[in-house]
């Protein structure tokens, strides 16, 4: 009985799947008010994202992905900032304004994610860093260019808890501005 809701919602989506897409994008990660407290701060940086999208319905899809963000951690009184990584895993829904076979597909998206903040000198491979969870939302456009190939542009905001418990609570707002290429079948 506990799996019946899952089966009711997701099995029809896979059974009637109209297409699957994969994409890679790159761009910037803008961090607004990166003050972490206790004299530490995060800067904006670069971002690379990998996404997979299952499009079971004409105007609705489900997206999952991974993003790597390269930023810098600054400390008050030091002029040199150190490189730092933010790893993000995400899952959400995508609502399209046009049907699956349209050449131009504007969309809005929203979902949940986790962010693993890895300070300088540590690595996510050894389980280091601090995980925070949040929500993300935004919009974008996909444009078919030739056969199964498309280009995409995304603007999304990631609302996550501030990392490292350095004295300043609240939310960290990170805006993704990316462009990329995808392949669908």
Q: State residue 13's pLDDT score.
A: 47
Closest CA to 111 of 176, 34, 35, 163: 176
13: CB partners within 8 A, 6+ apart: 54, 56, 57, 62
Does residue 185 have a pLDDT over 90? Answer: no
Domains, the chain, in order of start with CATH, read: 18-47+73-184 (2.40.160.20)
Does residue 10 have a pLDDT over 80? Answer: no
- Residue 113 CA to residue 142 CA, distance in Å, equals 22
Q: Does residue 169 or residue 43 have the better pLDDT?
A: 43
- Tell me if 46 sits within 8 A of 29, measured CB to CB: yes
- Distances in Å between the alpha carbon of 148 and those of 1, 106, 157? 40, 17, 28
Does residue 6 have a pLDDT over 90? Answer: no
Q: State residue 29's pLDDT score.
A: 96
Q: State residue 165's pLDDT score.
A: 83
Give residue-wise pLDDT tens across range 65-107.
999 999 999 998 888 899 999 999 999 999 999 999 999 999 9
Of the pLDDT bands very low, low, confident and very high (cuts 50, 70, 90), residue 17 is: very low
Q: Which residues of 134-172 are buried (b: 16+ CB within 10 A; e: fewer)?
A: bebebbbbbebeeeeebebbbebbbebbbbbeeeeeeeb
Q: Which of 59-68, 104-113, 160-169, 175-184 has the lowest mean pLDDT?
A: 160-169
Give residue-wise pLDDT tens across range 119-132.
887 777 677 889 99
Q: State residue 137's pLDDT score.
A: 98
Quick one: what percent of the chain has pLDDT higher than 70? 90
pTM: 0.85
- Distances in Å between the alpha carbon of 94 and those of 50, 77, 174? 15, 44, 19
Q: State residue 83's pLDDT score.
A: 92
Closest CA to 166 of 64, 79, 38, 33: 38
- Residue 53 CA to residue 62 CA, distance in Å, equals 6
For the chain, where are the E strands, in sequence order?
20-32, 35-37, 40-42, 45-57, 60-75, 82-96, 104-118, 130-146, 149-161, 171-184
């Amino acid at each position: 009985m506990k799996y019946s809701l899952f089966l009711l919602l997701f099995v029809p989506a896979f059974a009637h799947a109209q297409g699957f897409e994969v994409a890679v994008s790159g761009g910037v990660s803008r961090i607004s008010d990166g003050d972490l407290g206790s004299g530490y701060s995060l800067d904006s940086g670069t971002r690379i994202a990998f996404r997979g999208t299952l499009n079971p319905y004409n105007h609705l899809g489900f997206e999952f992905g991974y993003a790597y963000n390269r930023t810098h951690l600054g400390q008050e009184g030091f002029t040199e900032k150190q490189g730092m990584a933010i790893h993000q895993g995400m899952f959400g829904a995508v609502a399209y304004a046009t049907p699956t076979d349209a050449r131009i597909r504007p969309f809005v998206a929203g979902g949940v994610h986790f962010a693993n903040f890895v300070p300088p000198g540590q690595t996510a491979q050894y389980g280091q860093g601090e995980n925070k969870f949040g929500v993300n939302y935004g919009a974008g456009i996909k444009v078919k260019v030739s056969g199964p190939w498309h280009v995409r542009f995304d603007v999304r905001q990631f609302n996550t808890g501030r990392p490292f418990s350095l004295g300043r609570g609240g939310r960290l707002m990170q805006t993704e501005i990316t462009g990329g290429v995808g392949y669908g079948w």
